[in-house]
């Protein structure tokens, strides 16, 4: 348990804020340190902000940056905060090349700054899963973990579900 | 992942509320369902309130009730919400008799109702750990998990730490 | 102090919510009752929702509805919740026809549902001002009250200021 | 409206915090600046902390300090944050000597730090009332104002009411 976990920040609903002058949502800095402080988290963590984007606008060039960061990281346990809309695509992208690290992607349905965020819960889940799961690429949402090849976001409910479950 | 997890509620800071007429802290109902809703948790859960006590006043008769509930539960994965002051004692009590279930005890330093609770984070961690750890008795706090025989609460910092670490 | 105060709800940032499926802001129901409950408000109030619109899209037909509602109200003290972008226009519109009632318009820069809303503070101010100011049309923002003919929103700061002050 | 308002802080539920190591409530610093920032308050204010006490333990020597501070203040408008249990006693104490200033005492039933505080609402009311009411000593609670000689806290409901109302 003396492991170090790397957290890669890519944006997503997690970190969106409300601009009170324009009434629009925008990105400034990540709130990960605030969330970790709230959670009294004492894990040995390295937090790195790769980008701050809405995952609907995430390009393959962004995914390449994420992949490179996972590969070059000294740590074997990695958590990635990511918009939920294309989190599955990124998980698939990483799975093609990463075999020997435990990478858990997670997101949020409500911005942390809006008070009733699911982000704190999801972050707890993701950090826990990454410590114990075997190497592989996973998505942690709704209290569950999903393997990269067996997850999808249900657009109607906003919940994640196994693809198997639907077959 | 179609497992059912049992959550046993025993009180603790997690569920304390502020009585605005007397200015004192007290217990009413558990806030676990509120926390799970905030976290958009979709796990199959059975929540059972065993007692609502400050763990400083928890007696062995209470621990016996918790033990019996763990044993008679149909589920093999169990999360227990518990006051942090004697959470280690309860973990030890359970470890004497439970060998084939994954039991994760967790607590909170700040009541959920006081806004900035660590409870939501800890609950996420505990639910995640119970899904993936091998059978045994664990404590989930500060983003980490501790085995029942290697944990203590540092009274000065309020953080949990391994006993080994001190040796 | 046995007066009854009428609250007219017209929408505005006050009541905006976050749609977690689309990531967009929208209106559902007013949160005024929640705010009043938080404030332990014991005033005799009549709350009436006239419309739920972003004040940037408020038309003169909407302002006519607000005016009619003020005129036909039995109460002499009226608070109107309103988007801040055109709150001054509506105040001017009302001032042309209402002479014998104390009407206080107020708004918010942050939606109440986003946690750190100024709405609760502004609502307290507006309800207090309407009880003690002489008949007239006022805007309550930033802890201050402004007469309808001497207020403007500074678009750069988001704060309200007197026009005189600038002369 | 270019007036300056003095805020005298005396403690009370308003400013209580939760000590997560002992589970007890205590005073540290006032949260008035945080509340005013949340409220986007732009009034010209002077904030002065006189003491940090639970009003149940407020002695006449404390009330003498409050009285002296009101008298020696340059401002004619004063807001005092105070525990609700003896707020009426302090109002009476001040009324004996202060005739030419508008002093509004206010408090809270829930600590600001516990999230769902009525304090932000009450502070808005108190600041508004002090700007408009004639000189005198008032209590602002539950959205209403009470004159010093016609108020009492109902211990069963936690609400303030006029004494006349009961006669």
Per the model's pLDDT, the better-predicted residue between A47 and C117 turns out to be A47
What's the pTM? 0.93
Per-residue pLDDT of chain A (167 residues; tens, 9 = 90+): 469 999 999 999 989 999 999 999 999 999 999 999 999 999 999 999 999 999 999 999 999 999 999 999 999 999 999 999 999 999 999 999 999 999 999 999 999 988 768 999 999 999 999 999 999 999 999 999 999 999 999 999 999 999 986 65
Residue A86 is given by DSSP the state T
Does residue D166 register a pLDDT over 70? no
| Per-residue pLDDT tens over the stretch C33-42 | 999 999 999 9
Does residue D2 register a pLDDT over 90? no
Average pLDDT of the residues in C63-70: 98
Nearest CA in chain C to D118: C39
How many other C-beta atoms lie within 10 A of the C-beta of residue D76?
15
Q: Which of residues 54-113 of A touch B (CB under 8 A)?
A: 109
* Residue B133 · residue B109 · CB < 8 Å: no
Please report which confidence band the pLDDT of residue B115 belongs to, taking 50, 70 and 90 as the band edges.
confident
Query: What SS3 class is residue A19?
Result: strand
User: What rounded mean pLDDT belongs to chain B?
Assistant: 95
Quote the pLDDT of residue B164.
81
Query: Nearest CA of chain B to the CA of D106: how many Å?
Result: 16
**Distance separating alpha carbons of residues C133 and C122, to the nearest angstrom:** 16
Nearest to C116 among D38, D132, D162 (CB): D38
**Distance separating alpha carbons of residues A16 and A31, to the nearest angstrom:** 9
Please report which confidence band the pLDDT of residue B46 belongs to, taking 50, 70 and 90 as the band edges.
very high
Query: Nearest CA of chain B to the CA of A156: how many Å?
Result: 14
Q: What is the largest CA-CA distance in chain A?
A: 47
Q: Which of residues 109-148 of C touch A (CB under 8 A)?
A: 109-111, 113-116
**Distance separating alpha carbons of residues B61 and A159, to the nearest angstrom:** 41
Q: CB distance A38–B121 less than 8 Å?
A: yes
Please report which confidence band the pLDDT of residue C161 belongs to, taking 50, 70 and 90 as the band edges.
very high
| Nearest alpha-carbon partner for A12 in A49, A60, A41, A44 | A49
Quote the pLDDT of residue B166.
61
Q: Classify each residue of B85-108 as buried b or exposed e, where b means 16 or more C-beta atoms within 10 Å of its C-beta.
A: bbbbebbebbbeebeebbbbbbbb
Please report which confidence band the pLDDT of residue B167 belongs to, taking 50, 70 and 90 as the band edges.
low
B150 interface with A at CB cutoff 8 Å: no
**Distance separating alpha carbons of residues D52 and D56, to the nearest angstrom:** 12
- Which chains neighbour C (Cβ–Cβ under 8 Å, 3 or more pairs)? A, D
How many other C-beta atoms lie within 10 A of the C-beta of residue B158?
18
**C43 interaction partners in chain D (CB closer than 8 Å):** 142-144
Nearest CA in chain A to C12: A23
Structure ipTM: 0.95
**Distance separating alpha carbons of residues C53 and C8, to the nearest angstrom:** 13
Does residue B79 register a pLDDT over 60? yes
Quote the pLDDT of residue D83.
96
Does residue B56 register a pLDDT over 60? yes
Does residue B38 register a pLDDT over 80? yes
């Amino acid at each position: 348990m003396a492991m170090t976990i790397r957290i890669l920040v890519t944006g997503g609903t997690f970190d969106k804020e409300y601009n009170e002058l324009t009434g629009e949502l925008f990105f400034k800095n990540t709130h990960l340190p605030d969330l970790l402080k709230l959670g009294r988290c004492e894990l040995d963590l390295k937090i790195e902000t790769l980008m701050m984007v809405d995952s609907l606008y995430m390009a393959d060039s962004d995914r390449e940056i994420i992949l490179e960061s996972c590969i070059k990281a000294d740590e074997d346990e990695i958590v990635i905060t990511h918009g939920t809309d294309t989190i599955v695509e990124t998980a698939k992208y990483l799975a093609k090349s990463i075999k020997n690290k435990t990478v858990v992607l997670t997101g949020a349905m409500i911005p942390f700054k809006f008070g009733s965020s699911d982000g704190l819960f999801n972050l707890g889940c993701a950090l826990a899963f990454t410590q114990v799961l075997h190497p592989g690429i996973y998505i942690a949402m709704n209290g569950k973990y999903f393997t990269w090849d067996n997850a999808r976001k249900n657009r109607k409910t906003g919940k994640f579900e196994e693809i198997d479950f639907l077959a």
